[in-house]
């Protein structure tokens, strides 16, 4: 008798479990995914400064003054414009060191497309003058090879690199108050 | 006269549409060339199996996202440097996670996908066998003599009832 009740209730149990599973899927963010880079060392690079190309940046110079937030951005990226004022606030009010990785979409020499770097410099200067400048400096990742090594899918994306050169956080999308408080700030304070 | 001009303009319209279509397709296609046909095969396999991390459900061969283009270029570079399929896939997975590969490995999380259907089928087969056995026992029940008399009586009563009903019906029709 008891066995019979369980057998009869089985479809209902399966249904409820399935319902819970699908409901969870309905409210999850499909763009959210684990980064493969967390806990790994920052990939090696030697890249020029965006504004003064004679200056070369690399991992050692990046972490020389302690932990840093790497922010992948571009003037073409609309969401980046929204996070510029907030990142500037982080720099001015909390003393967060932010270094930009300039991600340009157009550069593809294998298909005969080249970026207009002087124009990028003008656009960058204009934009940070208008919306705030959170950056210590900008690294020009023209062939996006560093971005590929960092698992960057687009802009904006942000990383926390600690003073040992280990990647501690990887956020895809804009940094805002909510993201800073819930995800980045705890890791930043720990890295500091 | 009018008909010919109409025909001519129609011809021009059709030709221009065809021209625009062909132009469009050649504009979106990239030319990726390999000197070694084996490497070309490997490249084609890989760009179909690697998944664009910016997109929701596209392989990198299919996507025009910047990251997909970069991954194609890197795949070509790695294939030409003589790396095997596994090495190229590992290279991408190390940067973009398992998301970037359309064939997930068998581990604790993905084992469920394989085990659940097997469990379900086993359960269903078990249930079917159990049911058919129970049915077989019921139908093979032999009417024993103690039961036979009461069953006969019931049958007679039913037959009488139905014949009575038929009779009533025919009377009513008349």
Domain range enclosing B159: 108-173
Q: Domain end: B90, B105, B120, which one?
A: B105
How many domains are there within chain B? 3
CA distance, residue A75 to nearest chain B CA (Å): 15
Copy the structure tokens of residue B174: 């008349």
Best of B65, B91, B95, B99 to disrupt the A interface by mutation (most A CBs within 10 Å)?
Answer: B95
Within chain A, what is the greatest distance between any pair of CA atoms? 84
Cβ <8 Å between A33 and B56: no
Which residues of chain B fall below pLDDT 50?
Answer: 1, 23-28
B96–A147 CB contact, under 8 Å? no
Residues 10-29 on B with a CB inside 8 Å of A are none
Domain boundary among B83, B105, B127: B105
The values of phi and psi at residue B85, to 5°, are -60, -45
Q: How far apart are CA B73 and CA B98, in angstroms?
A: 20
State CA B92 to chain mean position distance.
Answer: 27
Handedness of CA A82, A171, A188, A59 (dihedral sign): negative
Q: What is the mean pLDDT of residues A168-191?
A: 93
Domain range for A184: 35-191
What's this model's pTM, rounded to 2 decimal places? Answer: 0.72
Q: Which residues of A touch B (CB under 8 A)?
A: 30, 33-37, 105, 108, 110-111, 144, 147-154
Residues A9-60: tens digit of each pLDDT:
888 999 999 999 999 888 877 667 778 889 999 999 999 999 999 999 999 9
Q: Structurally, how many domains does chain A consist of?
A: 1
Which of B27, B33, B53 is the best residue to mutate to test the A interface, defined by the most A CB atoms within 10 Å of its own CB?
Answer: B53
| Confidence (pLDDT) at B13 | 63
The answer to whether B44 touches A18, Cβ cutoff 8 Å, is no
**Cis before B174 (ω within 30):** no
Write the CB contacts of A65 (distance below 8 Å, at least 6 apart in sequence): A97
| A188 backbone φψ class: left, alpha, beta (φ>0; ψ -120 to 50) | alpha
Residues B21 and B70 in one domain: no
Substitution target in A110, A115, A146 with the highest count of B β-carbons within 10 Å is A110
Residue B91 touches partner A, C-beta closer than 8 Å: no
Percent helix, strand, coil in chain A, to 5, is: 45, 20, 35
A149 with B71: Cβ contact below 8 A = no
At B62-110, the pLDDT tens digits run 898 899 999 999 999 999 999 999 999 999 999 998 888 988 888 887 8
* Pair (B141, B117) in one structural domain: yes
Say which CATH number the domain at A184 has.
3.40.30.10
**B94 and B114 in a common domain:** no
Q: Which residue has the tokens 């008798």?
A: A1
Average pLDDT, chain A: 91
Is the Cβ of B44 closer than 8 Å to some Cβ of chain A?
Answer: no
* Residue A59 CB partners (closer than 8 Å, separation 6+): A42, A43, A44, A45, A165
Same domain, yes or no, for B71 and B53? yes
Task: Confirm or reject contact between B171 and chain A (CB < 8 A).
Answer: no
Is A100 domain-assigned? yes
Tell me: do B65 and B119 sit in the same domain.
Answer: no
Residue A26 lies in a domain: no
Of B29 and A161, the one with more pLDDT:
A161
Which run of H or of E encompasses B72?
helix B66-80
Shortest CA distance from B99: residue in chain A: A33
Which of A36, A148, A154 lies nearest to residue B97, judging by beta carbons? A36
For residue range A109-137, list pLDDT tens digits in order: 777 778 889 999 999 999 999 999 999 99
Residues of B in contact with A154 (CB under 8 A): 54, 65-67
Question: What are B19's two structure tokens?
Answer: 């021209």
Residue B101: CB atoms within 10 A of its CB come to 16
**A54 assigned to some structural domain:** yes
- Other C-beta atoms closer than 10 Å to the C-beta of B109 total 10
The Cα A151–Cα B54 span in angstroms is: 10
Q: Give the pLDDT confidence score for residue B92 in this predicted structure.
A: 95
Contact A151 B53 (CB under 8 A): yes
- Which residues, at least 6 apart from B19, have a Cβ–Cβ distance to it below 8 Å? none
Beta bridge partners of B59: B51
Cβ neighbours of residue B48 closer than 8 Å, sequence gap 6 or more: B59, B61
Chain A hits for B74, CB-CB cut-off 8 Å, are 148
Distances (CA, A) of A137 to A86, A191, A192, B120: 17, 21, 20, 58
Q: Which residue in B has a C-alpha nearest to residue A103's C-alpha?
A: B66
Tokens of B69: 């283009």
Residues B169 and B131 in one domain: yes
Exposure of A28 in the CB half-sphere (CA atoms within 13 A): 10
Does the pLDDT of residue A78 top 80, yes or no?
yes
Q: For residue A86, which of A162, A179, A189 has the smallest C-alpha distance?
A: A179
With beta carbons less than 8 A apart as the criterion, state whether B78 and B39 touch: no
Same domain, B139 and B167: yes
Q: What is the ipTM of this complex?
A: 0.82
With respect to residue A107, please indicate whether it lies within any of the assigned structural domains. yes
């Amino acid at each position: 008798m008891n066995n019979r009740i369980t057998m009869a209730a089985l479809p209902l149990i399966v249904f409820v479990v399935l319902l819970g599973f699908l409901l969870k899927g309905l409210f999850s963010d499909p763009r959210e995914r684990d980064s493969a880079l967390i806990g790994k060392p920052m990939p090696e690079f030697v890249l020029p400064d965006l504004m003064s190309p004679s200056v070369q940046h690399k991992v050692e110079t990046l972490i020389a003054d302690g932990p840093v937030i790497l922010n992948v951005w571009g003037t073409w990226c609309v969401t980046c414009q929204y996070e510029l004022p907030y990142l500037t606030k982080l720099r001015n009010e909390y003393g967060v060191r932010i270094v930009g990785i300039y991600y340009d979409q157009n550069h593809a020499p294998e298909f005969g497309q080249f970026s207009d770097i002087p124009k990028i410099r003008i656009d960058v200067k204009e934009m940070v003058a208008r919306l705030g400048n959170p950056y210590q400096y900008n690294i020009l990742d023209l062939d996006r090879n560093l971005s590929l090594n960092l698992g960057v899918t687009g802009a904006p994306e942000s990383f926390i690199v600690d003073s040992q050169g280990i990647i501690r956080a990887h956020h895809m999308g804009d940094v805002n108050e909510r993201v800073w408080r819930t995800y980045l700030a705890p890791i930043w304070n720990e890295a500091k | 006269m009018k008909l010919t001009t109409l025909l001519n303009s129609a011809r021009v319209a059709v030709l221009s549409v065809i021209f625009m279509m062909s132009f469009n397709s050649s504009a979106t296609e990239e030319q990726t060339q390999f000197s070694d046909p084996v490497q070309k095969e490997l490249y084609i396999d890989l760009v179909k199996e690697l998944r664009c991390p910016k997109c929701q459900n596209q392989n990198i061969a299919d996507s025009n996202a910047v990251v997909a283009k970069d991954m194609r270029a890197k795949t070509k570079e790695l294939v030409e440097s003589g790396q095997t399929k596994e090495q190229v896939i590992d290279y991408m997975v190390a940067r973009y996670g398992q998301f970037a590969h359309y064939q997930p490995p068998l581990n604790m999380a993905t084992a469920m996908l394989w085990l659940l259907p097997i469990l379900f089928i086993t359960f269903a087969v078990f249930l079917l066998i159990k049911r058919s056995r129970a049915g077989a026992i019921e139908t093979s029940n032999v009417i024993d003599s103690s039961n036979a008399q009461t069953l006969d009586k019931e049958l007679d009563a039913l037959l009488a009832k139905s014949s009575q009903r038929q009779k009533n019906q025919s009377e009513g029709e008349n």
